[in-house]
A and B are shown apart, each in its own frame.
Chain A
């Protein structure tokens, strides 16, 4: 197998998100807030969501960690904003496929900037970095689902 290349991992777009993260900060009135930590490395993310009329009206994050974990969550928030709730789970699924090396997922336009992370799949030990934000998102969706069932 050909050696994975560093420039396929550290795409300019990733470094750009790392330096200038989108939707970073905290909102005053989150509907759901999830704190996710990768215990093996210490990376952490706090993700906040607010849903209005079945859409993600606002999404914010704070956190610290490596370029991959922080860029991935920044890109994720970009894709999530204004998305109908029922289109969120497919994004998570698509991204997970991408992390397992699915080339088709890597070309899916609906994935936005997240496509730049396709190269991470060649660095298996870094896949968990890219998934940290998505783990938080899944937890958030679960919480939202639970609260809507209660209602």
Chain B
């Protein structure tokens, strides 16, 4: 189960410079419990650069007005900023048509949108929904709700000891009853970069199922190209990629989105409202009832702009460089078990671990007193935890501003865990 340390090949020199990137993030420059903060909880949420903070504040200070509703100057500016951000976020995932980007509250909201607006009309009793054991609860529970209502059956791709999908069973898991396949691009709890292209190819070959990819952990670091991935939907969040909380995007194929009923009713999403019925606005507005999170959208647009400037191609390489270094340093910690793929090439910047001596909560409290922020718990992935016979793990997760020094600080603080619990 434990990964061998530093087994990967040396990566090309990362194009990004974490030391200069750090300067852009005000929250990183503070002391926590008397020590400089080391923030290693990026798979939960990332910190925000000045460019994003400014974009949000500038929107409120200067351009704030309701979008798509007014004739006046501020409304024009707000609409321009809001739709401009849509274009930037579309480009981030390789979508050529910004109309295929629906603003959501985040990945969870995007998945629920599809489970509700698509699922309620297309899933019937006896149909099958294929998920994997690796999924975050946000890509499990919406389908369980749908399956319960419709009498559908959920099937699972299992994982091996290293957190990788067992795809030998895939042909047996797919049938003419498979209506939906919803899978994570990258695992939040183990960091596995899943072979989604291969799976989508097999799904297309064997079924007519609709495919959704949960991109919450993929969009922040992989060069996503929704056309090449071949799925129907790709859901992701702003806050895990330097953007604000409460904003995310759902990419959907135009013909799919057009064929779907609205998710929620309200203002903005209609074309014509009459006493007994209404007609809907075109996509994507059909799915954006009510005054949207305009500042959030603008902030998410600024985030992808910032990340593009930092150098998108360098993000994964740098995360893997840190993982390689961390696996190497952590290998010396007595009684440690590290979870996830053995090859660093198939990992994101997530390092889940347990110690024989101490429970993950105790680890997290002790390293926190050293200014090191990590996550401890089930990471909203109880199926994964159960697979490994544990209730919880500790998880360090990296992003563009983390350094080898941060890894050293983590390892050093684990020393005190062992001192107390050893």
- Name A residues whose Cβ lies closer than 8 Å to a Cβ of B: 3-4, 6, 9-10, 15, 40-44, 64-68, 123, 125-126, 129
Contacts and interface: CB of A to CB of B under 8 A. Distances in A.
Contact of A66 (B362, B385, B420): B362
B391 A43 contact: yes
Nearest to A41: B377
Contacts of B171: none
A6 B369 contact: yes
A123 B366 CA distance: 11
The 5 closest A-B pairs by CB, nearest first: A66-B361, A42-B391, A66-B359, A42-B378, A41-B377
Contacts of B376: 41
Contact of B361 (A4, A15, A44, A68): A68
B362 A68 contact: yes
Contacts, number: 50
Contacts of A4: 369
A64 B377 CA distance: 13
A68 B416 CA distance: 17
Contact of B421 (A3, A15, A41, A129): A15
B33 interface: yes
B343 interface: no
Interface residues of B, number: 20
A126 B34 contact: no
15 contacts: A3-B34, A6-B416, A6-B420, A10-B420, A40-B377, A41-B361, A42-B378, A64-B391, A65-B391, A66-B360, A66-B361, A67-B362, A67-B421, A68-B362, A123-B365
Contacts of A66: 359-362
Interface of B: 33-34, 358-362, 365-366, 369, 376-378, 382, 385, 391-392, 416, 420-421
Contacts of B366: 6, 10
A15 B378 CA distance: 23
Given A43-B391, A67-B358, A9 B385 contact: no
A49 B349 CA distance: 46
A126 B392 CA distance: 15
A44 B378 CA distance: 13
Nearest to B391: A42
A67 B359 contact: yes
A65 B421 contact: no
B392 A41 contact: yes
